[in-house]
């Protein structure tokens, strides 16, 4: 509630204009909102809100006012329980740009509950002011329990969605995954090696100069500076050849765990010559192995050169591919997937020449006692490989 002096400011803020703004000014109490007792409300219960929370409430208020205006509700006195329930039913549905209903948002209650719709249900109360067209929900398959058989019903994913997804995820697991694992192990080993390097204050410039010249002679580009410290060189002169390189890696090349800035004036001439000769590149997967393309035509490097940050992102992509393969090809419930731990793969059993059975050990949670019951699942070889890759990406400490 605000005074009439601030109403124009509020309507501009909320995006309400024209006749709708005037009607809602009156509906909100008009000039009565400017009374000191209403404005101050010393005993009101106030909940702290974040900026994002206030912004979301603003948009919801705009949506609520517009919906009421579109359906002929001009005063707050016309808003009763039926109006509120109808608006909630409207908000539980989503629409395309043309306004057609295409989905149903979350609604409290069990999947099998069939409650009367406040707008389009079997019992219709009086129409809203101005008349509200019935909310026709699209017919969608959903998960629930069949009333005749008592079995759970699931809507299968469409083939045009599932088939490309499985093709892409299996390509990541079987083709990209092994290379990703090798790179992850290399990064971890390199971190451990650098952490053990000495950090002398005066190592001798010849030691550093020899490392720089050796790198230039071998034609290996210098490592690019990590993105997390990129803001430090925001105002660096672009003509400086050294602003992109990681000076710490220059010291690591010489077997030193850190780089002291006072060394730079002495090393700058040699560094500038070397950088001009060999350039700068991301540190990982520079000479990536060739793999078959996903479309089956020709071969290509399995990745472009990666920074450490991008390497972590690729690991997450491959790990997500493992999860998709496991979930899609096993049919396990979410609660059962959550119980799969490192070491859940049981040893393969060869039942006949060329026929191998793969099994997983886990727990069944649904309709079981506390902590569930141990159980086993027979899976296909692709699932077995996906879990093996996921375990390798987690590392030995998982």
Determine the pLDDT at residue 116.
41
Mean pLDDT of the chain, nearest integer: 76
What whole-number percentage of the chain has pLDDT above 90?
25
Predicted pLDDT at 237: 53
**Residue range 163-169: average pLDDT?**
91
Q: Are 377 and 357 contacting, i.e. CB atoms less than 8 angstroms apart?
A: no
Tell me the pTM: 0.57
Rounded average pLDDT over 123-150? 47
Higher pLDDT, 115 or 42: 42
Ramachandran angles phi, psi of 374, nearest 5° = -60, 145
Predicted confidence (pLDDT) per residue in 317-365, tens digit: 999 999 999 999 988 888 888 888 888 999 998 888 888 999 999 988 8
Task: Tell me the pairing of strands 144-145 and 101-104.
Answer: unpaired
What pLDDT, in 10s, does the model give residues 29-44? 444 444 454 455 556 6
Q: Are strands 349-352 and 93-95 parallel, antiparallel or unpaired?
A: unpaired
pLDDT band at 6 (very low <50, low <70, confident <90, very high): very low
Summarised one tens digit per residue, pLDDT across range 40-93 is 555 666 677 777 777 788 778 888 888 888 888 888 888 888 888 888 888 877
Share of residues in the chain with pLDDT > 70 (%): 69
Q: What is the pLDDT of residue 240?
A: 73
Give the pLDDT confidence score for residue 395 in this predicted structure.
Answer: 67
């Amino acid at each position: 509630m605000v005074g009439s002096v601030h109403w124009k400011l509020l309507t501009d803020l909320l995006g309400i204009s024209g006749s709708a703004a005037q009607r809602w000014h009156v509906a909100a109490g008009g000039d009565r909102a400017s009374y000191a007792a209403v404005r101050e409300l010393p005993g009101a219960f106030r909940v702290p809100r974040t900026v994002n929370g206030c912004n979301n409430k603003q948009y919801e208020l705009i949506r609520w006012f517009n919906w009421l205006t579109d359906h002929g509700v001009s005063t707050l006195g016309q808003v009763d329980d039926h109006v509120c329930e109808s608006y909630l039913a409207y908000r539980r549905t989503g629409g395309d740009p043309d306004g057609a209903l295409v989905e149903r948002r979350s609604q409290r209650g069990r999947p099998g509950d069939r409650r009367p719709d406040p707008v389009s249900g079997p019992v219709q109360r009086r129409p809203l002011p101005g008349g509200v067209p019935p909310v026709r929900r699209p017919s969608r398959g959903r998960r629930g329990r069949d009333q005749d058989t008592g079995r759970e019903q699931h809507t299968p994913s469409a083939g045009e969605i599932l088939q490309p997804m499985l093709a892409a995820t299996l390509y990541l697991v079987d083709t990209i995954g092994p290379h990703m694992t090798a790179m992850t192990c290399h990064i971890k080993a390199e971190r451990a090696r650098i952490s053990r390097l000495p950090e002398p204050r005066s190592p001798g410039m010849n030691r550093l100069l020899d490392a720089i010249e050796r790198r230039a002679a071998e034609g290996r580009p210098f490592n690019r500076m990590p993105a997390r410290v990129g803001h430090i060189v925001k105002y660096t002169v672009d003509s400086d050849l050294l602003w992109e390189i990681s000076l710490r890696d220059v010291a690591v090349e010489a077997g030193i765990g850190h780089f002291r800035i006072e060394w730079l004036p002495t090393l700058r001439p040699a560094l500038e010559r070397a950088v001009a000769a060999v350039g700068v590149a991301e540190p990982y997967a520079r000479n990536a192995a060739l793999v078959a393309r996903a479309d089956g035509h020709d071969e290509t490097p399995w990745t472009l050169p990666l920074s450490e940050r991008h390497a972590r992102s690729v690991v997450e992509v491959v790990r997500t591919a493992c999860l998709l393969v496991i979930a899609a090809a096993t049919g396990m419930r979410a609660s059962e997937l959550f119980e799969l731990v490192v070491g859940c793969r049981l040893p393969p059993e060869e039942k006949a020449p060329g026929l191998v059975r793969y099994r997983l050990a886990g727990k069944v949670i649904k309709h079981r006692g506390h902590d569930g019951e141990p159980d086993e699942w027979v899976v296909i070889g692709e699932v077995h490989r996906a879990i093996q890759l996921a375990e390798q990406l987690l590392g030995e400490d998982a």
